[in-house]
Structure 1
């Protein structure tokens, strides 16, 4: 789970000391009554009290018998501050308090404010909220879609228990709708007024965000809708890859906090053409062992997540191959150049619009296809290459494909590329097993037999099989040729950083 404090330690264990700049000290400290003060420090709100309202333990005297009246200090990270307001003469601070490693709950503290201090208190609240929200939009207008079948039927319960209280405490405007059938979210998003909402949040797995992107893509003003409305996930499914990438968690309550504090981030989307149909992909496309493991193990769902490991082992040890003809528009061909590309992005703090392809800006329908569709002749600079021993063809737009599955550590939200991994199916059994383990310990990228490239388009034509599995964002599509093309920054999401995923990136100080 992503840390709720910069240090990664429990931010609510006292005492915590923070340095406040001398020149800002007076405006940063609010004295409330005789026994408490509230200080805006570097990363946290410091609460100094003389009672036990916020502390977990009592301070004892030297004999350990009689409680003393010593003041206690506690810190609430600004990221956890949800709201603050002055009503009549009562100051109320609402925040998300960790109750365990993966759970936060709404909590509040209250102080009476003297009449003479009202003006200073109002100014102090303004400064607090500025620090608490930073680049993030306050009081977001959120359209919530709840998949009643998500989380084995628990999505509705999780929303009411974990998510709704946090949205309410942050003063978000929320409109909730349950999806009734497959494809319903496509219809809802297609009819959505993009001026009425800032966010569409799916209480689901990765299937509903896929539908939402495609629903927005059907609108006459698709480009504006996709740029204006952020698509997010409240993790109520099995993989929850979108939340892992953008929020660093699959906790529903922590994800709700991350969405409240999320920063608008452009997201590359990928057009998939298959036959005469065009769809949008936000996560990944797979042909070969990954697709088959994901979609071909439904009969052993009783094994839980272990079914994926079992499926991989069976196919890797059996040296299963998936022959195909592949043409790729390669933009960054080597691991060394990919590392350098990723290194530059670490310090890139350019604004929202500069992270989008200027050609997609506007109010019209989806942008045209630079490389044509799968039914058109190949672009002149693409060559169709036969891969008779292909074991895995995996194209990722995000880093995590599942918990502990950082397949694409060099993936970036809006660099205009998708990351392509290909692995031959006839590698040794020991190499196959090492590959499976390497994904979990973040060494997959560096393996010699892993071909990793950044690309902007491709066409793949399966051959030698009448049927098989192709996965687009985890959804099964017909087993037939398809073509992909990246659109830089066409979509919008909310992320913690505003420009990176919450995954461990590629090492940048080694040879590639």
Structure 2
């Protein structure tokens, strides 16, 4: 059983059909369902075991979907089971995600006719199979699917249709698909979304569409309610797929689709960015200096793929580029030992069984800013630190920024903090290059000159520089002072654990 629904604030009238039925007494649940003289389906410890003397090994099957020890036995992990049903003609049909390589799955089906003596057990057995397959995750999620046809170098639609849609369909998800056709279109769609009709907005795109969705939801009159009720997921169909790497543990479209189908509702911190008179939400990162330039100033090198970021960083390291600024910070954890302990305390907790946050009222908009905006005086309990030789300010709400860049290994989805990195720009070139190369080996956190803290708010005021690059979730904003303030658990995503990223921590 996923969790009791009687007092669930997220419940809607159609949800009962998509949630597990009450569990049957263990003694009445047969672990094995006989489906022929020489065939049986068994609920194992962590997988469905199919025994059939006439079983033919599927072409290309791998990665644990076959035992490899007995040609008459196939083992399907419960995680890969998408759906099961007992049809009117008496057949038991099971849909599952069959691994075709280490980086891809595709839907597959098995069907058997139970023995007459087993027919009365079939429905109970299927319910137990689905319970093990989904656990605390909602079945048959109602998804508003946004496809960016221009993502993935123009292959967004093809990626969705070939690799994602088949998984969603096999899992019996309810789909409403819409294609974005201009910049800001996802903002408009999310702003006008009926939040009682959907459980998830699935963004088949890069990280830009989720950014737009959260900002669209933030414009609703009931923004706080919308941001909590609607889970946002990202399916990798773009050039930047950091959100999928963090929550799904992959940038494979089909594996991400499977992770979304099985995903657990996960509270996610969102950050208000104020600049001038404008307020926007950030879900991923903010950067000023070398990191921002390595991204935004290398747009003309997109043909290089992710290597353009490395190239951009190396060029600026060799030049010893500096970006003078004053930074005002509201520290929450200001030592690496403290950061490490905070991460490990959360990592030791068991997976979340359900989303227990109270749903905001219908008239609840975005939360008020505790610290005002960038136009207000710096709060008295913040620390103002001059950075005359700043090389980069990088604040992350997630761990991975790209497949080989676990920049923020101590980040947590819902700790009320941004992980803030500050680097000097005038350090020895060899030391700086060594630090950059350490990122893909997960040793960046331990580099002595990497200043890594957890903060709930900050403000940066550039000095002696009137033009430059500022990146918010990979999007360019005007160069100038801005302020960031974290809102704990304001948003909702889907993850495997319900409370952690799929990245190696500290």
| TM-score, normalised by the number of residues in structure 2 | 0.90
2: CA distance, partners of 1:252 / 1:71: 30
Residue matched to 1:227: 228
Encode CA deviations 1:455-490: one digit per residue, 9 max, x unaligned: 000000111111000000000000011000000000
2: CA distance, partners of 1:250 / 1:24: 42
Residue matched to 1:33: 36
- Pick the aligned partner of 1:42 from 17, 40, 45: 45
Residue matched to 1:197: 198
SS at match of 1:160: helix
Q: Which of 428-437 and 208-217 deviates more?
A: 428-437
1:315-354 maps to which residues of 2 (within 5 A)?
Answer: 315-349=316-350
The answer to whether residue 458 in structure 2 is matched with residue 465 in structure 1 is no
The answer to whether residue 305 in structure 2 is matched with residue 304 in structure 1 is yes
Paired residues of 2:33 and 2:118 also in contact (CA < 8 A): no
2: CA distance, partners of 1:400 / 1:239: 11
Call closer, same or farther: CA 1:184–1:71 in 2, change over 3 Å.
closer
2: CA distance, partners of 1:469 / 1:197: 37
TM-align CA RMSD:
1.6
The answer to whether residue 117 in structure 2 is matched with residue 116 in structure 1 is yes
2: CA distance, partners of 1:450 / 1:362: 43
Residue matched to 1:385: 385
Paired residues of 2:273 and 2:483 also in contact (CA < 8 A): yes
1: CA distance, partners of 2:51 / 2:155: 40
Paired residues of 1:48 and 1:71 also in contact (CA < 8 A): no
Encode CA deviations 1:137-195: one digit per residue, 9 max, x unaligned: 00000001111110111111111111111111111000000111000100000000110
Residue matched to 1:496: 496
Residue matched to 1:161: 162
SS at match of 1:122: helix
Encode CA deviations 1:232-262: one digit per residue, 9 max, x unaligned: 1010011200000000111111111111000
Paired residues of 1:51 and 1:71 also in contact (CA < 8 A): no
1: CA distance, partners of 2:29 / 2:413: 41
1: CA distance, partners of 2:338 / 2:396: 18
Residue matched to 1:505: 505
Deviation at 1:80, TM superposition (A): 0.3
Encode CA deviations 1:326-350: one digit per residue, 9 max, x unaligned: 0000001111111111111012245
Could you tell me which runs of 5 or more consecutive residues in structure 1 were left unpaired when the two chains were aligned: 1-22, 58-69, 507-512
Deviation at 1:436, TM superposition (A): 1.2
Deviation at 1:56, TM superposition (A): 5.9
2: CA distance, partners of 1:164 / 1:438: 37
When the two structures are aligned, how many residues end up with a matched partner? 469
2: CA distance, partners of 1:417 / 1:339: 14
Paired residues of 1:266 and 1:352 also in contact (CA < 8 A): no
Residue matched to 2:8: none
Residue matched to 1:14: none
Paired residues of 1:89 and 1:114 also in contact (CA < 8 A): no
- Pick the aligned partner of 2:55 from 45, 48, 52: 52
2: CA distance, partners of 1:115 / 1:216: 52
1: CA distance, partners of 2:355 / 2:153: 39
1:377-416 maps to which residues of 2 (within 5 A)?
Answer: 377-416=377-416
2: CA distance, partners of 1:26 / 1:298: 58
Paired residues of 1:289 and 1:392 also in contact (CA < 8 A): yes
Call closer, same or farther: CA 1:321–1:255 in 2, change over 3 Å.
same
Residue matched to 1:447: 447
Could you tell me which runs of 5 or more consecutive residues in structure 2 were left unpaired when the two chains were aligned: 1-25, 61-69
